[in-house]
Structure 1
Amino acid sequence: MSELTAENDTALRLERHRVELTAYCYRMLGSAFEAEDAVQETMVRAWRGFDRFEGRASVRSWLYRIATNVCLDMAKSSQRRARPMDLASPSTAATPIDAGLPEATWIGPVPDGRVLDSGGDPADQAVARESVRLALIAALQRLAPRQRAVLILREVLAWKASEVAELLDTSVASVNSALQRARATLSAGGEVPVNDPARPMDEAQRSLLARYVDAFERYDLDALTALLHEDATLSMPPYELWLRGPKEIRAWFLGTGIGCRGSRLLPLTANGAPAFAQYRPGGVPWAVQVIDISDGRITGLNAFLDTDRLFPLFGLPARLDP
């Protein structure tokens, strides 16, 4: 085998794991951009060290070991990311918009195509979608980094305790202890590890989303808020402000948010959930909206306003033609 052929073969063996590694790093770090950086660093380290890889483990588990070390190093030097709901009590529609907090403060959205394989068993795909939901990603950030890694590897990826212990250079007892503490932390915060797979999109959900788009684009706030759960939330990173309940959300859209009137929505998928790119009048990029749905109602409108970074990430046009 020629040197060039061997290099191409190595590259292919590494690249076939990119999507699942990106999903793992995203769960660890809470940012699509940091996850991409972590995976790229993982690939560089793996490429440089491949000739020393002795095959005592699979390429996949070796890559996870490298990715875990990269993520743990990155987690040491950065603050834990969060959602507005994790930082403050709900505001009212009359609350002035704040100056906004730095990007590193926030959990960010991620395109499904970056973190979810399109093939495979439907049940596994459903679990994978649930494991990148915004609420779970935010919950994971409350854990110490090593606990986070243990929980993801054991609960999401279904690794054996002995495999996780080998990856982390620790004992099975330490892994089990870390998993128990991680579960307790999430349970205390009202979140639990992934157990039940997300329900696939059905006709009822498609109808709900179609009505949402119609109401939003017509700016019929009565019709829009009729689709919301009584405890629905609206958040808008980088702003710390967030709202709860149809009444406050309606008042905000008719007050501070009135510039959204006349917007157009383009369908996306992000974080295993339905999403939309919002363009304000004139085709101006405004937000990536990630929609939470439960029991036939919209429970969360998560609007991410960092369009300079997010629209290219999602492959969206910089401006929408009228």
Structure 2
Amino acid sequence: MRLASKFHIVCAFAVFSIILSSLFLGSQRFAYRRVGAADQPIVDFQAAAFPDHRLVVFGDTWSDNNAKEVQGGRIWTDWLCSSFSCHLENFAQTAKSLRGTYLGSVVENDKLSGAVGILYKSPVADFKTQVKQWLAAEAKAVQNLGENAIHDRHNRTVLVVSFGVWDLWNMIERNYETATKSVDYSVEVIMEQLDMLSENWGSDDLKIILTLVPDAVKLVAHWNRKVKGAVEKWGKGTIYLFDTETFLVDIIRDRQLYLVGIEESNGLGRNQDPGWENVEDACVESKQQWVVTSESKRCENPDKYLFWNEMHLGPSAHRLMGTEVWH
């Protein structure tokens, strides 16, 4: 019972669904450090002039490759590009308060209320702002390119949209009716931004990775239904969805079957990589349950823990997710 409840609590707020065709990725890898608040331009970012293949990431702490302290190591976007040797442009953002707590981006800051809303509006760029910042940098990068070169650039670009963890966290104290309306609006904003990207590029052939939430609680199920419904109606490109819940359940079952000496024909029960020691508890135990703080107790073998903290997967899970994307 403890395992099940722990797993479902994490899944309810852990939005992390990724799939990517190897067809779109290859060649040489680069990375960069982005700096920019919600109302400011990113001061040191320049879009790549001639990338062979490119992964552009919009998201929160779950996809922010500069949030390694929050995740316990390299993030899945890093693992993905190291496997496929792509150029990475990551706009996902994380903010750290003076108290040492962390917050990740949401779809739209203006819809947040109260103390949480105040925390978000200054330090963390929402989805709308991230898109605006990237389009500005992209416009500079292509201003001297011909039509064919720009078209080829678009064909070699895959967009990642990974939001929901902190959107749902902000809704946990609302009544269900209010929360579902917030979910509906957030999904509408996501699709509106995808429409804007399509219009900006003048293309109906965008390649997009869009996250889903593991079905764990009623509100999360509503989020998934709205996203799937919107994706089915969207005709301006290809959107890839990944079954994160199955991915996590298989890891947990692999460890559980190993403990009782059972090995299935599909390989579950071997517990070989990384040789999980714990798929139930978080490696980092913080005094505050829903945020990460500097005052925390850390496990001895982080690579062998499925969960890094109450809100994020551990380093090995990120590595395995990147491998799963490639296969």
TM-score range, shorter chain: under 0.3
Could you tell me the TM-score, scaled by structure 2's length? 0.27
Could you tell me the TM-score, scaled by structure 1's length? 0.27
Which one has the largest radius of gyration? 1
